[in-house]
Amino acid sequence: MQKRWTIARADAQRIKELQEHLKIHSALCEILVQRGIDTFEKSKNFFRPQLTELHDPWLMKDMDKAVARIIKAIHAQEKVLVFGDYDVDGTTSVACMYQFMQLITPPNLVEFYIPHRYREGYGVSKMGIDFAKANGFSLIISLDCGIKSVELIQYARVLGIDFIVCDHHLPDAELPPAVAILNPKQVDCNYPYKELCGCGVGFKLIQALVKQLGMPQQTAYQFLDLTATAIAADIVPITGENRILAYYGLKKANENPCNGIKALQFLSGHTKELHITNLVFLIAPRVNAAGRMDDARKAVEMFIAKTYEEALSYAEMLHNDNDERKEADASITEEALHMLQQNEELQHRKTTVVYQPHWHKGVVGIVASRLTEHFYRPTIVLTQSGDYAAGSARSVAGFNLYEAIHACREHLLGYGGHFAAAGLTLETKNIQAFSDAFEKVVASQITDELLIPEIRIDAEISFANIKPGFYNILQQMEPFGPENMRPVFITKNVTDTGYSKIVKEQHLRLVLKEADVVMTGIFFRSAHYFPIVQQGPVDVVYTIDENEWNSSVSLQLKVMDIRASNG
């Protein structure tokens, strides 16, 4: 698929000034300036994150009320229920808060609750509140959910149950009647950093309680590995406070992880140092699979396990759920692709809407992502859910999917989501009408440019620049993630040495030359580019990583795209 190349630019004067301070390659200074790191002081904070730079938790609106209510519960020996969503952010939040509450109140007075994805749905549930009432809980701490649960929290209030809401989702105009709402995105919250995930908000509450109760700060820091896992999985910006939490969370995950992370790492076969990408691709799918295929409660049990053996037994369940998820995801993706390839009309649309009643509803969101990668257009995958059709939608970069679905609401029973992803429910008889309406809305709004995937390139360099010192500074820019992505480079007019070849029938092993410098590279699933490389010269877009072979380590290109040079 053709891709758009966009080369980022930065102010030349700022780059020059920063280079004078830092004495590093101008391309690295260019990348830093693009990311808003344009002074020596900002660079120092970026390259040397400090836990002392975390914001005071008391700056968050309602933090005083939340802490006071929890301390009141401790003194009165009330039962406290820690409630969280079934995804990575929710389960890690619950694991952190539950373990911390067990330190400050008798363990028998604290329980946790994860709603079942299919029986209860997303967020605070009536079943959860009824469970609290039936079992004598008078305080619920909700994490990664609750900000939109106005009626349910009112229902809890009528039953005599107080709520503390820790959430990071955008609040509506009407807020729930909780005793405290911790959410930096509230319009009147003066907390300096707005991009915390749910687990991050929970961590700030733990920090405040630690301070109030005169405990050592290290008590809160023991939960940093789980907080980093939530930051990675929830795809929040890795800037500011999130960067500090992720940096030290990864440090803990590598030096002294909780038993759950250790067990999942063992089962995934990963023996090297953990990076953010490992948390995203090794840890997160296995945790999410529990909620998709079965019950996410066991993910929390794994994270809070006191022994490695206990954690491993739960991790094996998650691992099996993930294998089952992968199987379902692969077979449904194949079936959906076949449906689209057999139907010429569907191939020429600006949208994809597919439905089969037997598809597993736990993986339709993943399948929607796979189809979006394949056809690169707004995509909806639907399946049967009870008497209705329900499914997930995914967008392409820059197109507001939620607004497009909102414009077709007359055909729907319900919908929710945001710019890039959404969920929806409708009657099966309305699928075709909705599909046609969605196509009409998207076709009238989306530009041809948005239907071509974009590669954002940070800087143009020559192969001569790719040296261990250069790579070492790149590594210090980790952890990578939204708003601090792994730098992407372009080198123009490079030629094949004659040693490039196709490996395993689908990948390209590249040996390229620019001037007198030769670099090797790997270009996955791109054997069809081989004739372009052979004809050369080519422009190549890539990230830089290390290749280990026979105990020797060398730098290599991880190629993202290639095209013939213009001259």
Does the pLDDT value for residue 303 go beyond 80?
yes
In whole angstroms, give the CA distance from residue 492 to residue 513.
11
Count of other CB atoms within 10 angstroms of residue 113: 24
Count of other CB atoms within 10 angstroms of residue 72: 13
Does the pLDDT value for residue 346 go beyond 90?
no
Nearest alpha carbon to residue 38 among 53, 9, 17, 8: 17
Is 24 strand, coil or helix? coil
Residue 512 near residue 541, CB atoms below 8 Å: no
In whole angstroms, give the CA distance from residue 196 to residue 147.
15
Residue 364 CB burial class (10 angstroms; 0-12, 13-18, ≥19): buried
pLDDT at residue 548 in the model: 83
Which residue is associated with the tokens 């992968």? 326
Longest CA–CA span in the chain (Å) reads: 78
Residue 533 CB burial class (10 angstroms; 0-12, 13-18, ≥19): buried
Query: What percent of the chain lies above the pLDDT cut of 70?
Result: 100
Mean pLDDT of the chain: 94
CA angle in degrees (0–180, nearest 5) for 95-101-102: 90
In whole angstroms, give the CA distance from residue 145 to residue 163.
11
pLDDT, average across residues 367-380: 94
301: tokens are 């049990």
pLDDT in tens, 204-249: 999 999 999 999 999 999 999 999 999 999 889 999 999 999 999 9
Q: The pTM is what?
A: 0.91
pLDDT, average across residues 505-513: 94
State CA 201 to chain mean position distance. 16
Number of alpha helices (DSSP H) and beta strands (DSSP E) in the chain? 22, 19
pLDDT at residue 59 in the model: 98
CA dist 465 → 34, 298, 517 (Å)? 19, 48, 10
Binned at pLDDT 50, 70 and 90, residue 567 comes out as low
Nearest alpha carbon to residue 351 among 404, 307, 310, 298: 404
In whole angstroms, give the CA distance from residue 348 to residue 363.
25
pLDDT in tens, 527-545: 999 999 999 799 999 999 9
Q: DSSP states of 161-219 as a string? A: -EEEEE--SPP-SSPP--SEEE-TTSTT---S-----HHHHHHHHHHHHHHHTT--THH
